Amino acid sequence: MIRNPILPGFNPDPSICRVGDDYYIATSTFEWYPGVQIHHSRDLVNWKLVRRPLERASQLDMRGNPDSCGVWAPCLSYADGQFWLVYTDVKRFDGNFKDAHNYIVTSPTIEGEWSEPVYVNSSGFDPSLFHDEDGRKWFVNMQWNHRTESYGGSPKSPAFDGILLQEWDPQTKALKGPIKNIFAGSPLGLVEGPHLFRKNGWYYLTTAEGGTGYDHAVTMARSRNIDGPYELHPNRHLVTSKDNPEAALQRAGHGQYVETPDGQVYHTHLCGRPLPPKRRCTLGRETALQKCVWREDGWLYLENGTVVPDVEVPGLGDAKRAEKPVRSEYSFDGGKLPGDFQWLRTPQPERIFNLTERPGHLRLIGRESIGSWFEQALVARRQEHHSFRAETVVEFAPDTYQQVAGLIHYYNRHKFHAVVVTLHEKLGRCVTIFSCDGDYPHGRMSFPAEAGVAIPAEGRVQLSMEIRENDLQFFWQTEGKGAWQPIGPVLDAGVISDEGGRGEHGSFTGAFAGVFAFDTSGRAKTADFDWFNYDEL
């Protein structure tokens, strides 16, 4: 059986591609670097992260990109002996504009080096490349209309001005021919995330609609001609939980169709798993997979006979889900960052961390403050469980309160909690808490432990946090001396979510647990981390 979500934690906008017996899913990474996560499976049950292909400044430079911008909704496909990856780099979120630039990169293999990007257009986001049976290639994306009151967290349907179609020429590497608006969307509105495929003489178009919150849906339409007109599915939506608030998988929408070699059919979609009582999705938007069937009317339906996605669906043969260890232990040996970890925005990671100056340690180089959109020394992994514990140990000798290093539960500049080592003019070296519980737009911090607790002037300090659904508690101890000591009150971990702070549609990435440092004096103070552990609770 397939158990959803198949990619837990922040893994939205899943584009699925099959090559032989191999399946690949590409998901959005937004402001996290390197860009795009690609997972691989041969049984649709067990998935492994195998590549983040956008890894050079020439492919992706997100310095200055606002929160929840960067890489939106990639599309992964295979044709002509190579993989094709289409992606958007969104440069603006608030206000009327989006400034969404679309590119194509290619590679003969998933694991290999990907090409330099080819710029395509900027008319809207969520681009997709369709390879037709006659060899022609078609580029589709939603069109953004800036002439409406659609600001950041308050999307309005008129801004989502239909799905554009234009032919793309692989020889000239450019669009050609007329631009046609082929689909205005259903009455649900907010049409985006287009994917085309062809079957039995029909062109099928799936789109995401309703916004990426609790009204989200996969809408389906078809036409005999690629440029329309498109008729809506009898149920209008292929997948949605919008009218079923009790469903385990909420926010279901934005996905892609795939067939197995023996003709079985599935459809990916993103989803969220809200926690009561405030229905906040602390794991962000995750990836799920649904079993589908073709009926005599020539339309695709969920196999369960409804539009509501299932947690468990039939897989391929007798494939079983491999049990994952409760604990993930990360060392920083070998001079390479563990694969689960990412950083923010910059294509120059050597400016914010290195693993060679002190072998066996992750050395963070203090640069700009928490929440900087340019050069923030923060390295973290996705939160994949509603309850977990994270631990680390740091060597850090600050000589001013402007130098800080520690352990962080992070979403964006407005939503984070951190336990830190710093310097206080009366306490000396100390441990305290920095918190921002969703204060938008100002990003004002609070200090739940006030000045903090004095600690010895030298020596390694262990830091930990326990998140139990909506509650977070920080701990500390001087390494080798005494037991873990709680610090500060229980904090609201649920604010580290899509719905926290600004609310639904205000942001849509996911929660991370990691380490960070900053030095706003400009002296680039370093902090050395020896290990990092993540335990499911």
Query: What was the pLDDT predicted at 201?
Result: 96
Q: How many residues does this entry show for the chain?
A: 537
Query: What was the pLDDT predicted at 442?
Result: 96
- By the 8 A CB rule, do 356 and 431 touch? no
DSSP for 191-224, please give it: -EEEEEEEETTEEEEEEEES-SSTT-EEEEEEES
Query: What was the pLDDT predicted at 476?
Result: 98
Mean pLDDT of all residues in 345-362: 97
Confidence of residue 133 (pLDDT cuts 50, 70, 90): very high
pLDDT in tens, 418-449: 999 999 999 999 999 999 999 999 999 999 99
Q: How far apart are CA 494 and CA 471, in angstroms?
A: 7
Confidence of residue 482 (pLDDT cuts 50, 70, 90): confident
DSSP for 380-399, please give it: EEE--SSEEEEEEEEE---S
Mean pLDDT of all residues in 201-210: 98
Mean predicted lDDT score pLDDT of the chain: 97
Q: In DSSP terms, which residues pair with 175 in a beta bridge?
A: 168
**pLDDT-above-90 percentage for the chain:** 97
345-354 as b/e: b if 16+ CB within 10 A: bbbebeebbb
Q: Minimum mean pLDDT among 213-217, 244-248, 476-480: which range? A: 476-480
Which positions are annotated as active-site residues? 375
- By the 8 A CB rule, do 508 and 294 touch? no
91: exposed, middle or buried (C-beta count within 10 Å: 0-12, 13-18, 19+)?
middle
Mean pLDDT of all residues in 343-371: 97
pLDDT in tens, 498-532: 999 999 999 999 999 999 999 999 999 999 999 99
Which residue, 369, 341, 365, is CA-closest to 353? 365
Query: What was the pLDDT predicted at 384?
Result: 97
Query: What was the pLDDT predicted at 159?
Result: 97
State the amino acid at position 345 in one-letter form.
R
Is 480 a residue whose pLDDT tops 80? no
pLDDT in tens, 361-377: 999 999 999 999 999 99
Task: Find how far residue 55's CA is from the centre of its chain.
Answer: 16
277: exposed, middle or buried (C-beta count within 10 Å: 0-12, 13-18, 19+)?
exposed
Q: What number of CA atoms fall less than 13 Å from residue 362's CA on the CB side?
A: 29
The three state secondary structure string of 327-371 is: EEEEEEHHHCCCCCEEEECCCCHHHCEECCCCCECEEEECECCCC
pLDDT in tens, 138-156: 999 999 999 999 998 899 9
- By the 8 A CB rule, do 6 and 271 touch? no
Q: In DSSP terms, which residues pair with 33 in a beta bridge?
A: 343
Query: What was the pLDDT predicted at 334?
Result: 87
Confidence of residue 171 (pLDDT cuts 50, 70, 90): very high
Is 414 a residue whose pLDDT tops 80? yes
Query: What was the pLDDT predicted at 318?
Result: 85
DSSP for 66-98, please give it: PTT-EEEEEEEEEETTEEEEEEEEE---SSS--
Instruction: Write out the two tokens for 210.
Output: 């309703």
Is 324 a residue whose pLDDT tops 90? no
Q: How far apart are CA 230 and CA 465, in angstroms?
A: 52
The backbone torsions φ and ψ at residue 298, rounded to the nearest 5 degrees and listed phi first, read 80, 20
Q: Minimum mean pLDDT among 174-178, 280-284, 316-320, 437-441: which range? A: 316-320
Query: What was the pLDDT predicted at 371?
Result: 96
Confidence of residue 479 (pLDDT cuts 50, 70, 90): confident
pLDDT in tens, 173-185: 999 999 999 999 9
Instruction: Write out the two tokens for 282.
Output: 């602390």
- By the 8 A CB rule, do 255 and 271 touch? no
Which residue, 277, 304, 280, is CA-closest to 292? 304
Query: What was the pLDDT predicted at 254?
Result: 98
Residue found by looking up tokens 């702070």 in the block: 501
- By the 8 A CB rule, do 408 and 378 touch? yes
List CB contacts of 442: < 8 A, sequence separation 6 or more.
none
